[in-house]
Chains A and B, each alone.
Chain A
């Protein structure tokens, strides 16, 4: 059990670490892009939304790091 916990902890630190917004943000951006594709938005439009969303996640994370 402790091995399993350490294994889970390693992957949590590897992918999430202390910046949870960098894990949740891209997933939310991709979910939004998926919804827009299914709603019939053009490839260029969804691509632009995805680009802006990813950039926004990075900006929010940097702002949070500066505040802390």
Chain B
């Protein structure tokens, strides 16, 4: 596999793993509070729909849209989406934003589910089905977005899909073993890495889309990545410093 293929697989794996960890929290909360069979049915239905979306949109976009236009549009979306992930990750790493707490989300979900009507004595529990379906679908749409955009732009739908499937297998296996929210997963570090990769590839592809003739061709991706990593680490350091100064000012006033 080419280095671009490996990078695509890694980005897809990390992004998917983060989203699957969040989806697993919802599935575990529904399954343990209400009924596992309906919860797993809802989860399976959502996963099947997501796989269908990847197959349909991934293939259709790659076949129907000219590559230059595709790279401009998809690259632009990757920059937008990547910056959302990266800026939040920088704020969290710098201490300006609360980190994602899967254990707390799990507790909140359980409280909300206990307020629902009781599980029917027989048949499908549609509340379990719907909550699991909706949770997995919403988290999974971000995975579909990343897999389709990465895969279609680089003509690497296979590695992108493989990354997502591997992430699903790893996260679900661990969740099945431990049977509690995966709170120990370094979600913010993973989001930081994914944000960097999305912004880097987005800049490269959108740049090609507007007509930039990148010097050193694909090697420019590495230069962009190094630049964004350096600026992001500096940004984290500056956010920490700014917060420290604000706390000092509050303490002395």
Contact = CB atoms under 8 A, between A and B. Distances in A.
A26 B210 contact: no
Interface in B190-221: 199, 202-203, 206-207, 209-215, 220
Interface residues of A, number: 30
A12 interface: no
Interface in A21-52: 22-23, 25-27, 29-30, 33-34, 37-38, 43-44, 46-47, 50-51
A61 B231 CA distance: 14
B228 interface: yes
A65 B96 contact: yes
B80 A34 contact: no
Interface string B48-89: 000000000000000000000000100111011101101100
The secondary structure that dominates the A interface is helix
The secondary structure that dominates the B interface is helix
Contacts of A44: 215
Interface of B: 72, 75-77, 79-81, 83-84, 86-87, 90-91, 96-97, 141, 145, 199, 202-203, 206-207, 209-215, 220, 224, 227-228, 231, 235, 239, 242-243
13 contacts: A26-B83, A33-B207, A33-B210, A33-B212, A38-B211, A43-B213, A51-B224, A51-B227, A54-B83, A57-B83, A61-B83, A62-B235, A65-B87
